Structures are given as C-alpha cells and as structure tokens.
Amino acid sequence: MKELWFEYLEGLEQDHSDVAYAMVYSSSTDDDLSRATNNHSSRYSLEGSIGLPAGHPSIPLTFDLDQYVGEQDDLACACRRAVLGGDVVVLQQRNGTLPREMAVGVPGRAGGGTVNTVCILPIPDLFSENSLAFVIVALSPRRPFDSENAAFVDYLRDVLVRSASTIFLPEEHRRARQKFEEIESSLAQELRATALEAERTEARYSKMFQLAPVGMWVFLNLPRLLVDKKG
C-alpha cells in the first residue's frame, strides 16, 4: 500500500495546473488480519504530501476521528463527515467550510494563488465500514468548482479505489482476474490477427481485380497468337 500511496502522489505532482497541494493519510492499522477482524483504528497518519513542505500547518502528522474537537481539528471533522456520507467532502472558502490554514498559495503550482477549494476523498476499506485512507486535494483557485471539476475529483478517487481494491482482493479472486485479463488479451491478439489477414486478402483480391483485364485478353487471344506463331 505504501508504494501505491507514493505512486498516486507522484502522479498528482505532475498536474501542476490543477492540483495546488495534496496529502494522503492512511489508517495506522495496515495489516490484513487486523482489518479482517474489524480491529480498525480511528487514527490516521500522514503517508506523504506534495506542494507543501513537511511540518506546514496544513499538514498534521496524525489525526483521530474519534477524538476530534470541532474547530480545533477541522481536518478530522471533515474526514469524519466523509466517512459518514461515503462520498467526497468539498471544503470551500466562500461558505466558510475551508479551514484557514488550508487557504494557502503554493508557488509554481496552480498559478500560485490562494487555494479556495479543498476536497476530502475517502478511500473505503473492503474489510470494514471505515475508510482505509483519505486523500486531501487542493484545487486550482483559477477555476470554479463546477460539474467538470467535480467529475475530475470523482475520477481521482475512483482510480485509487480500484487500485486499492485490487491489492486487497483474495488470492483466488486475483488469480481469476488475472486469468480473465489473459483471455481478454489473447482474444484481442486473435482479433488483430484476423483483421490483418482480412486486410491482406482484400489487398490480394484488389490486385487480382486490377490485373483481370490483362489476364482475360491473354486468355481470349491465346489461340490466335499460337496460330500466328505457327504460321
């Protein structure tokens, strides 16, 4: 999972125009046995961040969903709302839901303007009703948070949810998925080979059709040519 968090943040880091900063927090319970027995911790720890340096006020090292205290821990409060609602939570400056320490600008990213919209993306846990992790994404202040931006955030979440689910699939499901992908790849190769052969056949018939008048003329005039030759 740590490799997944790293790769995901590395991907977000390349999107300088849309993402001002981002963080990933994961549950402190990171082994399959604990999750399978529903022994889930409410404490989440920072896995990594982009855009802002470590130790920035916007990046607490840990937070606990069961011990948040309202305005003194707004990030935990927003993450708790995301867990209860099972969906993305949008914090915005215009409606007063964005914590002051999160409304910052990042030089060289998203135009460097002060962030006014931050999205909390809960990543569900397959073994419990809690969240496996939270992704905090600060969007560019140069663009309004409209339906297009909302779809972009949903896509960012779906990508990570699918990746995390694949990692935690039982081994037999993983093997079945791998077998399906192998069959799908084999069928695709056969389809490409069939299409190529069809193109070659069509080319041969096209060439034969182009040469047909010459062949017919030789066939019809062959007896006369032979007679003339004998004469």
- pLDDT tens string 197-218: 888 877 776 666 666 565 555 5
Say yes or no to pLDDT of 36 above 50: no
CATH code, 2-168: 3.30.450.40
- What average pLDDT does this structure show over 65-72? 63
Say yes or no to pLDDT of 35 above 50: no
- pLDDT tens, residue by residue, 9-34: 999 999 999 999 999 999 865 454 44
Residue 94, Cβ density class (10 Å: 0-12 exposed, 13-18 middle, ≥19 buried): exposed
| Domains of the chain by residue range | 2-168
Say yes or no to pLDDT of 224 above 70: no
Gyration radius (Cα) of the chain, Å: 31
Distances (CA, A) of 167 to 126, 146, 161, 176: 11, 32, 10, 14
pTM > 0.85: yes or no = no
Say yes or no to pLDDT of 121 above 90: yes
